[in-house]
Amino acid sequence: MLAPSILRVSSRSLALLSLIVALAASPVQATGRHLHPGDRLQITVYNHPELSESVTVDAEEHVALPLAGTIDTANADEQTLAARIRGRLVAFVSQVAVEVHTTSVDQSLLVNGGPIGSLPYTPGESLASAVTQLNALTHVGATQPVNESGSNDFFHSRNNAHAIRVLREGRLLGIFDAAHLIEAGEPGPTLLPGDTIIIAVKPVQVVVEGAVREPGMVYLDVEEPLENALRQAGGDTSAATAEVILTRGGREQRLALGDPTFRKPARNGDVITVPRAPRIGVVGAVEKAGEITLPGDSSLLSALYNAGGPSKTADLKHVTVIHNGVKQEYNLVAAIHGGPGNPLLWDGDTVFVPVGRHPDYTSFWQALGSASPLLYLIK
């Protein structure tokens, strides 16, 4: 009686063995729905319950399994993933058979390269409405800043809203100008759960540094004007000068903020430096001694003008400027009459106006002050 029982058990074992061998040897076709971050999967490794797991596809399109480690699920359906897992386990388990079953499907849209990882899916969702949703989320501060300078504006950041791609089941639907679609009131392509919205980075990188609110790297479109780089960096501060330094191709040039160059397209690698307006100490025979800031004209005459002008006893023929510990004397009387002696000052300089027995220039200085624009012409 024992022999038939053993024969029956052996027959079942042979049948199971035949199934395992067939599964391991047969080619796998990539059919069905591609897996998506957020999908819940049941991974079954036959005859090895310790290697079977219920897992969720993470935001990077990976699953982690005992012994097999981290497996990439990109562009994979259930059968493709099963083959990838078998490939990892074959070195540890003989005649391995794996089955992957999706227990729940994530109803969301994956966002690749944008400010957040995914968006909730709404039936009938279009690309235009999805991008509008992204913009709304960044404006209310629901996510991390969308560029290095901390800006929470999707359309005026590193995100290129003019070249957004849509990936569905491993197939690229196209490249769409979402900014134009929204402006024209057009919906664009209808999206499905599991679609991936791929957001590219704007191609032109510009560094903005110095006296701006948010210095750092900013990103522009190919035809976007240079002035938009300053706008992305928050604009200049009250401590900035009226001129900026543009470094392009290794060459520096000083430009007024209204220069036409800023209305022309930026170039990749441009560096805009907004110098800080010099802070000057003015002491001695002036009306308002102390530290002043010169955001416009940074000349010696301008410093005295911003300090309220010289007092009645000031000696304007022997005004001293101390720069980096070095003293230099200037004759401002000659400078007032158009001669030399009106140098440009630098941040940290000190101006000393001595007292002397010289004519009272107060009335002349007041007359000059009433025509203060002339100060910018006197160098």
- pLDDT score at 272: 92
The answer to the question of residue 7 being in a domain is: no
Query: How far is it, in rounded angstroms, from Cα 132 to Cα 189?
Result: 14
Q: Quick one: 141 and 100 in the same domain?
A: no
Query: pLDDT tens-digit profile of 249-265?
Result: 989 898 887 889 989 99
Q: Quick one: 270 and 320 in the same domain?
A: no
- pLDDT score at 221: 84
Q: Which of 85, 104, 123 is the last residue of a domain?
A: 104
The answer to the question of residue 17 being in a domain is: no
Long-range contacts of 372-375 (CB under 8 A, 24+ apart): 372/305, 375/297, 375/299, 375/301, 375/302, 375/305
Low-confidence residues of the chain, pLDDT below 50?
A: 1-12, 14-17, 19-31, 140-152, 370-379
Q: Quick one: 150 and 82 in the same domain?
A: no
- pLDDT score at 237: 62
- pLDDT score at 363: 53
Query: pLDDT tens-digit profile of 310-327?
Result: 988 899 889 999 998 999
**DSSP code at position 376:** G
- pLDDT score at 283: 93
Query: How far is it, in rounded angstroms, from Cα 107 to Cα 195?
Result: 10
Q: Quick one: 97 and 84 in the same domain?
A: yes
CB-based contacts of 51: which residues, under 8 Å, 6+ apart?
45, 65, 66, 67, 68, 89, 93
**DSSP code at position 19:** H
- pLDDT score at 284: 92
Q: Quick one: 290 and 360 in the same domain?
A: yes
Of 78, 79, 96, 74, the residue nearest 87 (C-alpha): 96
How many domains, in total, are found in the chain? 4
- Residue 265: strand, helix, or coil: strand
Beta strands in 66-117 (DSSP E): 69-72, 98-104, 108-112
Distances (CA, A) of 232 to 47, 137, 148, 215, 363: 59, 19, 10, 9, 46
Q: Which of 73, 104, 135 is the last residue of a domain?
A: 104
The answer to the question of residue 15 being in a domain is: no
* CATH code of the domain containing 123: 3.10.560
State the residue range of the domain holding 234: 205-274
CA 164 to the chain's CA centroid: 17
The answer to the question of residue 260 being in a domain is: yes
